[in-house]
Amino acid sequence: MTFKALIFDMDGTLLDNMHVHNSIWSEYLAEHGVHLTPTEIGIRTASLPNPQIIRMFLGEGLEPDLVWAKATEKEDRYRDRLARGLIEPLPGLRAFLDEIAAAGLPRAVASSASRVNLDFTLKALRLETFFQAVISSEDVLHGKPHPEPFLKAAERLGQAPGDCLVFEDSSFGLLAAQNAGMRAVALTTSHPAEELRHFPHLIGLMPDYQAVSLAGVLEGRLG
């Protein structure tokens, strides 16, 4: 088959930054008496929206305003840490995106990140005008593994779900793509290949974008 549109997750898919998120969550939760390593955090929270993570570890009964305040505090720390460092896209991403732009293909981001984080990161990567649709956690009622983020991205691009190819790094994100009826490429930035290769809708796995060609991807193959 030939895909007509591409949908990207952001964290771990456009840039390798999940270790930053996981470290900050580990530090933040430790301050609230919950002691987990960054690795444990990553396994338990991949693709979950911040309010769900807060409630998971700090209490299901927290008032919505308090949940929002705690999630905002965590993300303030994340942006501060990234602002003091260097944000770089995954190797080969820019050349791949240049191919997509030259071909005039519709493209979207569908992320579990908040709108402020999503905008912050895309601007830092100089990609704020590249995507025709940008779906954040505030744009959906149900986060991944529910298919809503990807279905909404396809809708905004004016494409049928089956004509869209998803790029994802997490098992929840890949399950969301599967639930949306979309094929996917798995990035192995956050999880080893053996944890992801069992998904039946994958066209392949890759560590980054250096060895991928747009022509191959559109035909449903990598390399």
DSSP structure class, residue 213: -
Active-site residue identified among 9, 11, 16, 169: 9
Provide the residue type at 200 as one letter: P
Q: Give CA–CA dist 222/213, Å, rounded.
A: 7
Is 9 an active-site residue?
A: yes
Concatenating the DSSP letter of every residue in 9-34 gives -SBTTTB--HHHHHHHHHHHHHTTT-
Instruction: Give the closest residue to 8 by CA, choosing from 146, 153, 148, 212.
Output: 153
| 137, 143, 146, 152 alpha-carbon torsion, rounded to 10° | -10
Cis ω for the linkage preceding 161 (within 30 of 0)? no
Known catalytic residues are 9
